[in-house]
């Protein structure tokens, strides 16, 4: 304790400004080198007015027979699959026709797979 006594007394009576500069400064490391990034758009389902009602997405408007997402797209989460060629995206579909139409499944929150390598699924969807 005796070797620290002069330093403690200096701190008590004169404050931290009396300490050597290297004792009070923190060394901030240099930032890492920039990493290359690549941005691209994903082919998501088409959009329609947020207040679209059941059946507003029909074969005339959308020949694929799927519903739309709202114009205010709320992507809730997304994650790449391990192969890095697909991404899972949680979207909310609106405007699907009512059951028993087979397109009625395109309603509410869904988890969709989207290809990121510009290829298509066997049914032609990206």
- At residue 72, the pLDDT reads 74
In a domain, 88, yes or no: yes
Q: Domain total for the chain?
A: 1
In a domain, 20, yes or no: no
Per-residue HEC secondary structure of the chain comes to: CHHHHHHHHHHHHHCHHHCCHHHHCCCCCCCCCCCCCCCCCCCCCCEECCCCCCCCCCCCCCCCCCCEEECCCCCCCEEECCCCCEEEEEEEEECCCCCCCHHHHCCEEEEEEEECCCCCCCCCCC
In a domain, 26, yes or no: no
Query: Pairing state of beta strands 68-70 and 47-48?
Result: parallel
pLDDT at 22 over 60: no
In a domain, 101, yes or no: yes
- At residue 71, the pLDDT reads 76
pLDDT at 62 over 80: no
In a domain, 123, yes or no: no
Residue range of the domain that includes 90: 31-115
In a domain, 16, yes or no: no
Q: Is the pTM of this model over 0.85?
A: no
Q: In this predicted structure, which of 48-57, 64-73, 115-124 has the lowest mean pLDDT?
A: 64-73
In a domain, 126, yes or no: no
In a domain, 80, yes or no: yes
């Amino acid at each position: 304790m005796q070797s620290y006594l002069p330093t403690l007394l200096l701190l008590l009576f004169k404050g931290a400004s009396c300490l050597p500069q290297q004792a009070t400064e923190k060394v901030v490391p240099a930032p890492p080198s920039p990493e290359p990034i690549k941005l691209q758009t994903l082919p998501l389902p088409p959009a329609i007015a947020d207040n679209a009602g059941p059946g507003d997405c029909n074969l005339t408007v959308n020949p694929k027979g799927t519903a739309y997402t709202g114009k205010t797209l709320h992507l809730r989460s997304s994650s790449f699959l391990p192969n890095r060629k697909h991404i899972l995206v949680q979207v909310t579909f609106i405007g699907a026709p009512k059951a028993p139409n087979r397109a009625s499944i395109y309603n509410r929150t869904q988890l969709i797979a989207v290809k990121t390598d510009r290829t298509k699924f066997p049914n032609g969807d990206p």
